[in-house]
Amino acid sequence: MVDTGIFATTAEVQYKVGANASTTYNAETYINSFMTQAESRINVETEFNWSDVYTSLNVDVKGVLKDAASNLAAIYVLNADPSTLAPREYETRIDVLTNEYEKCVKLLRDKTSKKEFITEA
């Protein structure tokens, strides 16, 4: 199977998921589905369709999209079967991934003041 996501790869999501996650949900088939959901959510939350203009974006903007999408997809992987981790470890991973996702979305959402950089870089 091949990565079908636009913003991030299966490997990049798996790096963020970490050790001891469910082998069922931490596989390419599920991650491809989670990536599609994450990309759509980023587009809706930021009120901008990054997917349609992705190839024309600056590498730095692509990096923020990759970071946001891989964080959110990793959350989806961990949430699919949290029983593979100790409760505190699970909570910590979710908290870190959520915080990082929200920082990225805030950067992307603030496109009004950064529009020239994002669209013309």
Q: Residue 70: inside a domain, yes or no?
A: yes
How far, in Å, are 40, 89, 97 from residue 78 at the CA level?
A: 19, 11, 10
**What does the pLDDT look like over 14-33, one tens digit per residue?**
999 999 999 999 999 999 99
pLDDT at 57 over 60: yes
Domain that holds residue 21: 10-120
What is the total count of domains within the chain? 1
Report the pLDDT averaged over residues 85-94.
96
What pTM was estimated for this model as a whole?
A: 0.90
What is the percent of the chain where pLDDT is above 90? Answer: 84
Angstrom CA distances, 7 to 14, 43, 82, stand at 14, 11, 25
pLDDT exceeds cutoff 50 at 112: no
Grouping H, G, I as helix, E, B as strand and the rest as coil, residue 28 is helix
Given a cut of 80, whether residue 9 has pLDDT beyond it is: yes
Q: Is 4 among the domain residues?
A: no
